[in-house]
Amino acid sequence: MNDLSSPPKPEGDRPQMQRKPDWIRVKAPVSQGYQETRKLMRDLNLHTVCEEAACPNIGECWTKKHATVMILGDTCTRACRFCNIKTGMPMPVDPLEPEHTAAAAAAMGLEHIVITSVDRDDLPDRGAGQFVKVITALRRETPDTTIEILTPDFKGRMKQSIAEICEAGPDVFNHNLETVPRLYPTIRPGARYYASLRLLEEVKAHNPLIFTKSGIMLGLGEARLEVHQVMDDMRSADIDFITMGQYLQPTPKHAKVEEFVTPKQFAAYGAIARAKGFLQVASSPLTRSSYHAGDDFAQMRAAREAKLAKQGA
C-alpha cells in the first residue's frame, strides 16, 4: 500500500535530458521519401547509422533518398559514452550484406554513398574484409557511384586492414577523432587519439589520391585552443576534410552536453579550419560525418583540382 504521506522522489534523482536551443531542433520525419527509404532498408535487411545513432538529420536525408549504411550488424563491441548504438556480443557477419548494400545504392540511384560500421573487435580482421566486399560489390553493380567509408580504428590490426581496404579503392576514407585528446579516457575509452591519427596517415601512405576525412563533436567540455590543436594535428596527418558538429546526448545515461555551441562559434571554427589549409570544411550545429556528403565530396574534388592546377601554373 502506498504511503501518501511520504515525500515525492526529488526530480534531481532522475536522469534529465537537456533542453535543446532553437537552432538545434528539427522536425519529425513524416515524408513519403522517408518512408520509402525506411522500407527499402528493411526489405534488404540493412542497418543504417541514421537510425541506430539517432541522427537528427534523418528526416532530411531520407527524404532525399540518402542513407548511410552501417555494415557488420547493429551491435558494437565497444561502449563509447557519446554513442547510441547498442553494445554487446554481435551476431555473425551477414554474407549477403555486400550485395544488399549495392542493391540499395542502385535502387536509390545514389551518386555518392557512405558506408560505416560498428566496431567488431571480436573478428580476426576487425571487419576489414567486409568493407572490401562491400566496395567491390558497389564497383560492380553501381560503377558510377563514388564511395565514402567511415571506419573504426581496427585496433590491433590497423596496418593490414588499411592496406586491404585501400587496395579496394574507396574515394573517401573517413575515420573520426570524435573529441580532443584530454577527453578520450571518459568519452572514447576504447580508442587512442594518436592511433586514429596514424590510421589516416597510413591511408595517405598507401594511396595519396584517396581523400581522407575526420570529424569531432563540440560541446563535450573541450577548450577552444584544444580544438585548434586537433585541427593542426589533422593537417599534420594530411587530412583533407574536417567536420565539426554539436554533440547531442542520446539518452540520460550518456555523457552530458557541457555546452551548446552557437552557430556563430561554429562559423568561426570553420573559418580557422579553412585558413589552416583543409580542402573541405563542414562546421555547424547539425553537421554530421555523412551530412551532405555527396555535395561536400564534389566540392572537395573541385578544390583539389583547382589546387593542382594552381601548382602546375
Q: What is the mean pLDDT of the chain?
A: 87
Assess if residue 89 is contained within a domain. yes
31 band by pLDDT with thresholds 50, 70 and 90 = low
- Whether 175 and 151 have beta carbons less than 8 Å apart is answered as yes
User: Which stretches of the chain are assigned E, i.e. beta strand?
Assistant: 47-48, 68-71, 112-117, 146-150, 172-174, 211-218, 241-246, 280-283
- What integer pLDDT is reported at residue 295 of this predicted model? 87
pLDDT band at 20; cut points 50, 70, 90: confident
The residues near 6 (Cβ < 8 Å, ≥ 6 apart) are none
How distant, in Å, are the alpha carbons of 47, 48, 50, 63, 257 from that of 37? 12, 11, 11, 8, 31
Average pLDDT over residues 103-111: 89
| Annotated binding-site ranges for [4Fe-4S] cluster | 50, 55, 61, 76, 80, 83, 290
Domain extent, residue 132, equals: 32-312
pLDDT of residue 69: 87
Cell of 204: 595517405
178 contact partners, CB below 8 Å, separation of at least 6: 80, 82, 187, 188, 191, 215, 216, 217
Q: Answer whether 203's CB lies under 8 Å from 240's CB.
A: no
Q: Tell me whether residue 18 is in a domain.
A: no
**Within a 10 A sphere around the Cβ of 275, how many other Cβ atoms?**
10
More confident residue, 62 or 165: 165
Q: How far is CA 222 from CA 159, 227, 280, 282, in A?
A: 30, 7, 22, 18
Q: What is the pLDDT of residue 5?
A: 38
Separation of first and last alpha carbons in the chain:
86
User: Could you say which DSSP state residue 87 is in?
Assistant: B
Contact 74, 42 (CB under 8 A): no
* CA separation for the pair 234, 226 (Å, rounded): 12
2 within some domain: no
Percent of the chain residues past pLDDT 90, beyond the cut? 62
Type of residue numbered 161: S
What CATH number corresponds to the domain at position 273? 3.20.20.70
pLDDT digits (tens, 9 = 90+) for 251-307: 888 999 999 999 999 999 999 999 999 999 999 998 888 777 888 999 999 999 999
Annotated binding site: 50, 55, 61, 76, 80, 83, 290
- Whether residue 114 lies inside any domain: the answer is yes
Summarised one tens digit per residue, pLDDT across range 36-90 is 777 777 888 788 766 655 555 565 665 555 668 889 998 999 988 888 788 899 9
11 belongs to a structural domain: no
Report how many domains make up the chain: 1
Q: Cell numbers at residue 238, please? A: 594530411
Residue 27 domain flag: no
CB 134, CB 115: distance < 8 Å: yes
Residue 17 inside a domain? The answer is no
Identify whether 20 is part of a domain: no
